[in-house]
Amino acid sequence: MRAAGLIAGGSLDNAIVCDDENWLNPPLRFADEPCRHKLLDLWGDLSLVGPLPPMHVVAHKASHILHVELARAVAAKLTFL
């Protein structure tokens, strides 16, 4: 990924890395650490909108790109309230 210009700040010290079958930097701190990581990514991206209305969010195969798209859509609706 580095060769493609991605993960410039990423390392085995600050990321959870896996191949097709195994974790490359075990042990994980929690059994559900990958889920926690994805949830915090989503929460952090949405928090950039500011105070959010009560809402239910379901994320499937989410990514920062999709999080930002959702954040923009929510922000656009909030400006009309």
15 and 41 Cβ atoms separated by less than 8 Å:
no
Q: What is the pLDDT of residues 30-59, one digit of tens each?
A: 989 888 988 999 999 999 888 888 889 998
Percentage of the chain exceeding pLDDT 90: 22
Active site residue 64: yes
Question: Does the pLDDT of residue 2 top 80, yes or no?
Answer: no
Catalytic residue among 37, 56, 60, 64: 64
**Per-residue confidence band for 9, with pLDDT thresholds at 50, 70 and 90:** confident
* Closest alpha carbon to 46 in 18, 29, 66: 66
71 and 45 Cβ atoms separated by less than 8 Å:
yes
Encoded amino acid at 6, one letter: L
CA 62 centroid distance within chain: 7
> Which residue would you say has higher pLDDT here, 9 or 42?
42
Considering only the top CATH level, what class is 2-78?
alpha beta
Whole-prediction pTM value? Answer: 0.68
